[in-house]
Structure 1
Amino acid sequence: MRRPFARALTVPLAVLVAAAVLPLASSAPAVADEGVIGGSAVKTSDHPWVVALSSRDRFGGMRSGQFCGGVLVARSTVITAAHCMSEEVLGVPRNRVSDLKVIAGRTDLRTTEGVEIPPSSEWINPDYDSRTNSGDVAVLTLSKPLPAGDVLPMAEEGDPAYKAGTKASVYGWGDTTGTGKYPNTLRAAQVQVLADAVCEQAYPGNADGTYMAKTMLCAGELGGGKDACQGDSGGPLVAQGKLVGLVSWGSGCGRPKSPGVYTRVSDVVKVLQQHG
């Protein structure tokens, strides 16, 4: 997810995680009590569709190598942010990361609960634009299916879950303060879907990025305080029991008048149908 870190220009959220951890860290990141930004602890047993992307070779083993989030949308299908698979995030070309895994059912990254499944194949949206972050989605096909009951449905175009003012929740293991403090356990924060006009005003096409309503969704709180942050990229924004967004980019974490921008899942559905 693109956000600045003590500078004006935005960069993908996952990039900042890579910068903080690479080369391999010799000690664990600081642990915060809150979650995401302005969130609280939750359990993967209650939200089994939330998964973590892991590479211990690239990000160390203290937190299971977690660097991005993802969402189980079919028994063998996880979607995440396209930028999570980039060399900018991983530090090396994707084909040089041999230990990429999807971790499911692990609330606390310090434990061995749940399962770790390597992808059998990957697909990165060929229409992803790294300059604007439009089309920020990738698909990981798991080498072993997960239970059907763990799957989260995707909200298609016209679903009322996209209506401005709808309550939503964002999930992840990312930075809890905007200053590089990463929790060991899964967190969630309640936000609300915001009108496209709010994000168009916040991100009109300057150095902070360009909001494109066709492929993006705006969510947060106008006064700030609740948001996704570094390390949450690719994770789910859920409203009315359906997936509506993937953590993508924004300016800062939880800042007033700088809401989070998410990949719009209704567009993801169209992209996946188009590319088969």
Structure 2
Amino acid sequence: MRRRLARALARPLALAAASTVIPLASAVPAAADSIVVGGFPVDVSEGPWTVALSSRDRFGGTRAGQFCGGVAVGRTTVLTAAHCMEEEVLGAPPERVPDLRVIAGRSELLAKGGQEIAVRDVWVNPDHDAVTNSGDFAVLSLAEPLPQGSSIAMAGAGDPAYRAGTEATVYGWGDTTGSGSYTGSLHAARVHVQRDAVCEKAYPGGSVGTYRARTMLCAGEAAGGRDACQGDSGGPLVAQGRLIGLVSWGAGCGWAGSPGVYTRVSEILSTLGWPQG
């Protein structure tokens, strides 16, 4: 599951609208609906806090309008990537997208189960830096509550779930191969949290982004093969039963030496002034 247009070009993994195709040579983030590369299908009951962001007006009905992922951290509160809410992705400011919705409780995007809930309000981190990709998160407030048990706990600063070597799982509906093979069913991939030194070496700065340990973490496998991908942006990275990251950016999908980069959840808690677990 990777959240970029093309890992080598622009790490942010949002899906481009079918009506406005963004060239692969563009540095504009692709819409975040990528799926996990090297992953496996899962039922949403295994991760009920995993949601899809949808706008059929913008992205069409083939995939129920899905363009990014998100994660419920409260019954009416969803976190996603800030770049998913950019005008380049949505075609307009989020408050002017009348059918912006969260799809919850649904493994298959075109199934009839689960809920489609309108987004009542969007708060985008004003400190999001589109050059480095730092601070890549937004908070969505829902018009109706999700069922009990649909949200996940967030890992605060110092939580052992952030330790290098910890196994984590990333979820999404995006590109499963890195070459535009999108699926309509929820997938997951198991990856390992990487040392900050590994991430800094992979992303020292440049057109793709700059790794900043305070606001980011990265996860993947040394040999590549398992990763988030295009369209997974904003989706959850979970370790030891707690949310540790949001799919944000990276180079390619599942490439050796190019682990996926995630927004660090402890930094989100700090920025918002929410309790650190």
- Assess same fold via TM > 0.5: yes
Are 1:2 and 1:10, in contact at CA under 8 Å, matched by a contact in 2? Answer: no
Question: Is residue 205 of structure 1 aligned with residue 205 of structure 2?
Answer: yes
User: SS at 2:129's partner residue?
Assistant: coil
What is residue 138 of structure 1 aligned with on the other side? 138
Change (3 A) 1:2 1:106: closer
What is residue 62 of structure 1 aligned with on the other side? 62
Segments of 4+ in structure 1 off by > 6 A?
Answer: none
Letter aligned with residue 120 of structure 2? S
Letter aligned with residue 116 of structure 1? E
Are 2:119 and 2:141, in contact at CA under 8 Å, matched by a contact in 1? Answer: yes
What is residue 25 of structure 2 aligned with on the other side? none
Question: Is residue 233 of structure 1 aligned with residue 233 of structure 2?
Answer: yes
Q: Structure 1: which 5+ runs fail to align?
A: 25-34
What is residue 19 of structure 2 aligned with on the other side? 22
What is residue 222 of structure 1 aligned with on the other side? 222
Could you report, residue by residue, the CA deviation over 1:121-164 in whole angstroms, capped at 9, with x for unpaired residues? 11111111111110001000111111231110000000000000
Alignment RMSD, CA only?
Answer: 1.6
What is residue 52 of structure 2 aligned with on the other side? 52
Letter aligned with residue 219 of structure 1? A
Q: Structure 2: which 5+ runs fail to align?
A: 22-34
Are 1:57 and 1:99, in contact at CA under 8 Å, matched by a contact in 2? Answer: yes
Letter aligned with residue 223 of structure 2? G
Separation in 2 of the partners of 1:207 and 1:173?
26
User: SS at 1:83's partner residue?
Assistant: helix
User: SS at 2:84's partner residue?
Assistant: helix
Could you report, residue by residue, the CA deviation over 1:213-268 in whole angstroms, capped at 9, with x for unpaired residues? 00001100010000000010000000000000000000000000000000000001
Separation in 2 of the partners of 1:2 and 1:231?
5
Matches within 5 A, 1:129-168: 129-168=129-168
Letter aligned with residue 61 of structure 1? G
Separation in 2 of the partners of 1:210 and 1:2?
16
How much does 1:96 deviate?
3.1
Could you report, residue by residue, the CA deviation over 1:148-198 in whole angstroms, capped at 9, with x for unpaired residues? 311100000000000000000000000011111100100000000000000
How much does 1:97 deviate?
1.4
Separation in 1 of the partners of 2:11 and 2:189?
22
Matches within 5 A, 1:240-255: 240-255=240-255
Separation in 1 of the partners of 2:75 and 2:93?
28
Name the count of aligned residue pairs.
260
Separation in 1 of the partners of 2:5 and 2:69?
19
What is residue 102 of structure 2 aligned with on the other side? 102
Could you report, residue by residue, the CA deviation over 1:76-131 in whole angstroms, capped at 9, with x for unpaired residues? 10000000000111133334311000010010011121000011111111111111
254-263 vs 141-150, which deviates more? 141-150
Matches within 5 A, 1:237-276: 237-273=237-273
Question: Is residue 12 of structure 1 aligned with residue 12 of structure 2?
Answer: yes
237-246 vs 39-48, which deviates more? 39-48
Letter aligned with residue 19 of structure 2? L
What is residue 76 of structure 1 aligned with on the other side? 76
What is residue 121 of structure 1 aligned with on the other side? 121
TM-score (norm 2): 0.90
How much does 1:4 deviate?
5.5
Separation in 1 of the partners of 2:171 and 2:190?
9
User: SS at 1:270's partner residue?
Assistant: helix
Are 1:74 and 1:148, in contact at CA under 8 Å, matched by a contact in 2? Answer: no
What is residue 29 of structure 1 aligned with on the other side? none
How much does 1:11 deviate?
4.4
